[in-house]
Amino acid sequence: MENLLHTPLTSRHESLGARMAPFAGYLMPISYKGIREEHQAVRTGVGVFDVTHMGEFIIKGRQALDLVQSVTSNDASKLSIGQAQYSCLPNEEGGIVDDLLVYRLAEDQCAEGEQAFLLVVNASNMQKDWDWISSRNHFDARMSNISGETGLIAVQGPKALETLQSLTRVDLSAIAYYHFAKGTMAGVDNVLISATGYTGSGGFELYTTNEALPGLWDAVMEAGKAFDIQPCGLGARDTLRLEMGFCLYGNDLDDTTSPLEAGLGWITKLQKGPFTGRDRILALKAGGLSRKLVGFRVNDRRVPRHGYRILDENDVEIGVVTSGTQSPSLDVPIGMGYVPPAFAGPGTMIRIEAGSRTMEAEICALPFFRKDD
């Protein structure tokens, strides 16, 4: 495990007995007590994830918005200060360079007439994204890569608000979904407290400096003891996001995937004006999709894996599995994959090829997990 980057919390993870493994160039915790236990802690109580490996870019300037608008699919002009949005970076062919979060920051550190944005990108695409956006920065906008100095933890679950409220005077209940505030948390100043996450169970993501992160982690773990807080690894992060039908770059999204095929038309604002890949996405929309991302439940005990072939009922190949897992909440194997639109309707029966055997599966509506179920 030489040459792997460590987060400021690596020693915390190791002391808690985490199973560590390489991920996106970092040594990261995969699980502690076990994926199922960590998953259920987030669904019913509170869990905390180290996600410092994510990338963070600041864009400032008189034309900062113009740059963000030109490289992202969503409409950043709709963002108010203190608001975030999910978006993607389309390429020239209408595929996806990466998916990301865009935050509209306060302008107190900007010159008059300037705006500021924070872009949060996937760890595995950090350099790729930086190079991509930089090559398209023909605007009066300054870019700063603050990934190496930024720590990030995600406190997720129905007890996340109660856990964190004891550590801050900021009224966390007043922070709406996909909004954020800055304030003091556990004695740490200027923490960006974001009502976002990747689990579907609510909670907050806390951005601070690398130096302050260990103390913040310790305070959160102590405050969460009343709710049996659990440290959670990337294994539970994956099962939680898949139950919600959230896409994972490199599995469900890549440079050849259109956001329309991936069900991300809602973050693709074709009417906002020119942006990279817009013409190709418009052409695809006019011509019709040849494939769509769907969710399915497997009528078997075996788990569908990335790359398994999807067959119709006559064993003709129609697509490929992009993500799969055993759902801890539903106790059935679930997955996502791309199939032609004719096979995308809920209730459609398909087959998943697993080596020399096949498994029956049924297309179902996303998300797999709903809080009220």
At residue 1, does pLDDT exceed 60? no
In the chain, what is the straight-line distance between the N-terminal and C-terminal CA atoms, in Å?
42
Local confidence band at 2 (pLDDT 50, 70, 90 cut-offs): low
The 3-state DSSP class for residue 133 equals: helix
Q: Over pLDDT 90: what percentage of the chain?
A: 96
The predicted pLDDT at position 108 comes to 81
pLDDT tens-place string over residues 112-162 = 999 999 999 999 999 999 999 999 999 999 999 999 999 999 999 999 999
What pLDDT shows up at residue 355? 86
Residues ≥6 apart with Cβ < 8 Å to 101: 84, 85, 86, 87, 118, 119, 120, 196
Considering only the C-alpha atoms of the chain, give the largest distance between any 2 of them, rounded to a whole number of Å. Answer: 66
Among 31-35, 52-56, 104-108, which stretch is predicted with the lowest mean pLDDT?
104-108
Pinpoint the alpha helices (H) of the chain.
Answer: 10-15, 35-44, 64-71, 126-135, 160-165, 213-223, 234-243, 278-287
Q: Are strands 333-339 and 292-298 parallel, antiparallel or unpaired?
A: antiparallel
Cβ atoms of residues 87 and 97 within 8 Å: no
| Domain architecture of the chain: domains with CATH | 10-50+149-243 (3.30.1360.120), 290-364 (2.40.30.110)
Note the pLDDT of residue 109: 80
User: What pLDDT is recorded for position 373?
Assistant: 53
Beta bridge partners of 244: none
What pTM did the predictor assign?
0.96
The residue assigned the tokens 């956001």 is 259
